[in-house]
């Protein structure tokens, strides 16, 4: 069984003093897939990645990465992984080319690998500048390049696009997709639902150090639904809009007289924006704007925790 999973963890626990950062994290990432670890700040994403990349020893639980036990065979794990992200970084005093040549040397890869990666990550022009002069996007690309020297079997990316502009973000996304298509297993953490949705085959929602929910992006969206919202011309039109939204979504809409909006959550995956607009129009609601969007991560967690509490109550 283990050989079909690139990452398999059971009951991972990690404490920092009073902070219980991981509380029995279970992960099973099939070989060749992309797993998105999605969670808000402080959920334990970085701790999970640090444990899985041998930087931290778990207090309890066990994990195998690329078929090797984390605690007993860390060296074998290191031979098979690449790490880029919030911490494992490059040397800012060295140029991009020097950094990649250093890591190529340490990994016994040919020097030409550095040139290849500079080319691939569009860093040729900046190759001879110290890395601390790079923009955020260039720096992340260099980080990513440094983690790909030996074409690792499992690539760990900790919030690879946090703080990047949309253009740089797209460049990283393209690279991750390419790697995944070429068969690399990727475990990435993110705070962005959109990122997990775009890249991951499976999403694990992580909350307070444990998996709160897992499934494909489609399953996740089916569980968390989407927000249908209508903005009307006059607040007097709100009740009419509410009737339509209620009928379409099956939930009672929330009205905001100030902003003249009616909004309702729906789990109905067949509801489309054209239909929403058509039905509101047919009911004679003077519509200024309408949207059907996935909930934000905050809203997702609010709902999941609300559900948990409801079950507990």
Ligand X SMILES: Nc1ncnc2c1ncn2[C@@H]1O[C@H](COP(=O)(O)OP(=O)(O)O)[C@@H](O)[C@H]1O
59 binds another protein, rule: CB under 8 A: no
Query: Near Mg ion by CB under 5 A, which window of 38-46, 61-69, 131-139, 140-148?
Result: 38-46
Burial label for 218, CB within 10 Å (0-12, 13-18, 19+), is exposed
Q: Which of residues 115-134 bind another protein (CB under 8 A)?
A: 130
Distance, in Å, from the CA atom of 111 to the CA atom of 92, rounded to the nearest integer, reads 20
CA angle 5, 206, 148 (to 5 degrees): 50
Task: Choose the contact partner of 257 out of Mg ion, another protein, ligand X, none; CB within 5 to 8 A by kind.
Answer: none
E strands in the chain:
5-16, 19-30, 34-38, 60-65, 68-69, 81-85, 154-158, 185-190, 202-207, 210-215, 226-232, 254-256, 261-266, 287-293
201 binds another protein, rule: CB under 8 A: no
160 binds ligand X, rule: CB under 6 A: no
Task: Choose the contact partner of 81 out of another protein, ligand X, Mg ion, none; CB within 5 to 8 A by kind.
Answer: another protein
CB of 121 to ligand X, least distance (A): 25
CB of 245 to ligand X, least distance (A): 35
Query: Near another protein by CB under 8 A, which window of 19-27, 72-80, 202-210, 242-250?
Result: 72-80
- The answer to whether the CB of 168 falls within 8 A of the CB of 178 is no
Site string for another protein, 13-52 (x = CB under 8 A): ----------------------------------------
β-bridge mates for residue 36, sequence order: 188, 203
- The answer to whether the CB of 8 falls within 8 A of the CB of 67 is no
Using the rule CB under 6 A, which residue among 19, 60, 125, 218 binds ligand X?
A: 19
Cα atoms in the Cβ-side hemisphere of radius 13 Å centred on 123: 34
Using the rule CB under 5 A, which residue among 46, 168, 185, 229 binds Mg ion?
A: 46
- The answer to whether the CB of 122 falls within 8 A of the CB of 141 is yes
Q: DSSP letter string over 131-157? A: GGGS-HHHHHHHHHHHTTTT--SEEEE
300 binds ligand X, rule: CB under 6 A: no
Using the rule CB under 8 A, which residue among 26, 32, 107, 162 binds another protein?
A: 107
Q: How far is CA 80 from the centre of its chain?
A: 22
Task: Choose the contact partner of 56 out of ligand X, another protein, Mg ion, none; CB within 5 to 8 A by kind.
Answer: another protein
CA angle 18, 16, 63 (to 5 degrees): 125
Q: Which of residues 43-82 bind ligand X (CB under 6 A)?
A: 43-47
Using the rule CB under 8 A, which residue among 15, 26, 55, 122 binds another protein?
A: 55
16 binds ligand X, rule: CB under 6 A: yes
Distance, in Å, from the CA atom of 238 to the CA atom of 110, rounded to the nearest integer, reads 67
- The answer to whether the CB of 137 falls within 8 A of the CB of 165 is yes
Residue in this structure with the two tokens 């969206």, named with its chain if needed? 221
Q: Are strands 68-69 and 81-85 parallel, antiparallel or unpaired?
A: unpaired
286 binds ligand X, rule: CB under 6 A: no
Q: Which is nearer to ligand X, 175 or 190 (CB)?
A: 190
Task: Choose the contact partner of 39 out of Mg ion, another protein, ligand X, none; CB within 5 to 8 A by kind.
Answer: ligand X
9 binds ligand X, rule: CB under 6 A: no
Residues in the site for Mg ion, rule: CB under 5 A?
Answer: 45-46
Residues in the site for another protein, rule: CB under 8 A?
Answer: 53-57, 74-75, 78-79, 81, 83, 87-95, 98, 102-103, 105-107, 130, 146
Residues in the site for ligand X, rule: CB under 6 A?
Answer: 16, 19, 21, 39, 41-47
């Amino acid at each position: 069984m283990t050989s079909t999973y690139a990452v398999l963890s059971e009951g991972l626990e990690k404490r920092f003093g009073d902070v219980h950062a991981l509380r029995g994290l279970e992960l099973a990432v099939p070989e060749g897939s992309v797993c998105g670890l999605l969670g808000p700040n402080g959920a334990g994403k970085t701790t999970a990645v640090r444990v899985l990349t041998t930087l931290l020893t778990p207090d309890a639980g066990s994990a195998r990465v690329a078929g090797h036990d984390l605690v007993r065979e860390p060296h074998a794990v290191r031979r098979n992984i690449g790490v880029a992200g919030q911490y494992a970084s490059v040397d800012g005093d060295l140029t991009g080319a020097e950094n990649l040549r250093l890591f190529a040397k340490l990994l016994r890869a040919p020097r030409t690998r550095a040139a290849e990666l500079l080319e691939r990550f569009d860093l040729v022009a900046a190759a001879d500048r110290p890395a601390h002069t790079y923009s955020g996007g260039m720096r992340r690309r260099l980080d990513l390049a440094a983690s790909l020297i030996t074409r690792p079997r499992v690539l760990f990316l900790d919030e690879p696009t946090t703080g990047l502009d949309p253009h740089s973000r797209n460049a990283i996304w393209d690279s991750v997709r390419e790697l995944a298509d070429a068969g690399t297993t990727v475990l990435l953490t993110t705070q962005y639902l959109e990122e997990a949705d775009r890249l991951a085959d499976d999403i694990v929602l992580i909350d307070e150090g444990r998996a709160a929910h897992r499934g494909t992006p489609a399953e996740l969206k089916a569980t968390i639904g989407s927000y249908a919202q209508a903005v009307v011309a006059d607040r007097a039109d709100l009740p009419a809009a509410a009737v339509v939204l209620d009928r379409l979504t099956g939930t009672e809409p929330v009205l905001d007289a100030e902003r003249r909006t009616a909004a309702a959550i729906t789990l109905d995956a067949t509801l489309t924006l054209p239909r929403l607009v058509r039905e509101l129009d047919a009911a004679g609601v003077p519509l200024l704007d309408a949207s059907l969007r996935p909930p934000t991560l905050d809203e997702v967690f609010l709902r999941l925790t609300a559900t948990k509490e409801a079950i507990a109550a």
